[in-house]
Amino acid sequence: MLLGREPKDFDVATNALPEEVESLFRNCRLIGRRFRLAHIMFGKEVIEVATFRASVPMAEGDDLQLEDGRILRDNVYGTIEEDALRRDFRINALYYNINDFSVTDYTGGLEDLRTGVLTLIGDPQTRLREDPVRMLRAVRFAVKLGFRIDNACEQSMFELAADMQKVPAARLFDELSKLFLTGFALQTFEMLRHYGLFAQLFPDTDRLLETGDRDHMHRLLVRGLENSDARVAADKPVTPAFLLAVLLWEPMQDLSAQFEAQGMKTMEAMYAAMGEILHRQSERIAMPRRFSVQIKEIWAMQNRLARRGKRALQLLQHPRFRAAYDFLLLRGESEPELTELCQWWTSFQERNESGRDTMLKKEQRRRGRRRRRGSGQNQNQGQDPDTHS
């Protein structure tokens, strides 16, 4: 609001304990173990209520546990001043008092808003080790707000990027959506790579980007991320499945080629590569099964789209056709050999029933000519060239 933007939601902080909040609202439920919260339901709206936390454990046996510097549980309650000091960035430690509509600043967040800088509260090394996800939040806020990251925080991010491996995979899927599906995907991708964080989230993709001639791969990623940003800007739906299909396509293709070289048939190799790449990725970012199924469908349909033919009408009715077609168009922008195929499917969708029938018949004739040419070549290969005229 201070930056002239409309908040996407409101969170509430209070000195009331979660159980006290629950006792006040019958439409309340308590969630979380690491961080106990109260969710108060108003129809489809959810007001998230957090109790003020203390910045340090008060005594032995408190519910704050550390492992490798990470906070595992954080249910030590305190005052509003203590709550401010344990937050991550100074701009996130501003309190809007609804009693008198004032803003209370305990850490210097207002100054950071004025100068456009992201500054961690406390020692950056300690705060990032407590929760490595704060590095992702730094990137997200910097890109979204157009802020720069404070030098001390930035240096610590370079040094501690590998700590992202300590974050449970189940926790990172939600962070992925916030990073890439809010309209700043391309900038986020570039900044994550700058700090070495992308390699921690998508190791197979980053490894390929760093090796060999991968210009076409980079173009596909850039165009896919630009496409996501354009859809958000146009208020169109975006899905993690499509984004992940783009980010993991080249690693899947690369592994499929390796399997083929080992003797697998093309489709067998592709399906084996799909399963292996998604399994590896889920060890870093756990994804709900419905999204992994959609990713496989988008990938598998690339071969079906390449065949066109008499089953083209069936493909049009497939629930994943539009996503697979959009994916094909993205590939076409970095793979010129796909241009004619992309044009064919674009035209096929635009035609009426009679026009589609004409296109399919033309395609059948084209295939017939190819088969006859192939048959003739095979016969010629079995004859003596000196006696054939």
Catalytic residue among 11, 68, 123, 357: 11
The angle, 0 to 180 degrees and rounded to 10, between the axes of the packed helices 289-307 and 240-261 is 60
Distance CA 38, CA 48 (A): 6
| 93 in Cβ contact with 106 (< 8 Å) | yes
- In terms of residues, how long is the chain? 389
> Is residue 62 annotated as a catalytic residue, yes or no?
no
63 annotated active-site: no
* From 74, 88, 150, 229, active-site residue: 88
Q: 373 — phi, psi (to 5°)? A: -65, -40
Output the CA torsion sign for 106, 107, 108, 113: negative
* Phi, psi dihedrals of residue 80, rounded to the nearest 5°: -65, -35
Establish whether 9 is a catalytic residue. Answer: yes
**Within 10 Å of residue 1's Cβ, how many Cβ atoms?**
9
Cα gap 224→326, rounded to integer Å: 10
Determine phi and psi for 93, rounding to 5 degrees.
Answer: -115, 30
Concatenate the DSSP letters of all residues of 193-254 into one string.
HHTT-HHHH-HHHHHHHTSS--HHHHHHHHHHHHHHHHHHHTT----HHHHHHHHHHHHHHH
Write the DSSP symbol of residue 120: B
Contact 144, 182 (CB under 8 A): yes
Strand residues in the chain grouped as ranges (E)? 11-14, 28-31, 37-42, 45-51, 64-67, 70-74, 94-97, 102-105, 117-118, 148-149
DSSP H or E segment with residue 303: helix 289-307
**Which residues, 6+ apart, have CB-to-CB distance to 286 below 8 Å?**
168, 169, 170, 172, 173
Catalytic residue among 9, 213, 215, 386: 9
Residue 188 and residue 180 in contact, taking contact as beta carbons nearer than 8 Å: yes
CB atoms within 10 A of CB 179: 24
CB of 148 closer than 8 Å to CB of 118: yes
| Active-site annotation, residues | 9, 11, 88
